[in-house]
Amino acid sequence: MNPDKRINDLIIDLQPKVIRFTGKKFPTELWNNNKIKKNK
């Protein structure tokens, strides 16, 4: 398994925890920009 995929899976697993922790939705634009950067 490639490390980038593992890190991405971790981030996706953590997303709901981040939403609960901050009490608001994670900014979608920021999330999408992060995914685009990872895929390059």
pLDDT at 19: 57
Give the span between the Cα atoms of 28 and 31, in whole angstroms.
Answer: 5
What pLDDT score was predicted for residue 36? 61
* Nearest-angstrom CA–CA distance, 19 and 13: 11
Q: Please give the pLDDT value at position 17.
A: 65
What is this structure's pTM? 0.29
User: What is the reported pLDDT for 29?
Assistant: 66
Domain residue limits, the chain? 3-39
Q: Look at residue 33 in the predicted model and tell me its pLDDT.
A: 67
Give the DSSP H or E segment for 25: none
Task: Per-residue pLDDT tens, the chain, 40 aa: give them.
Answer: 577 888 778 777 776 666 565 555 556 666 666 666 665 5
N- to C-terminal Cα separation, the chain = 18
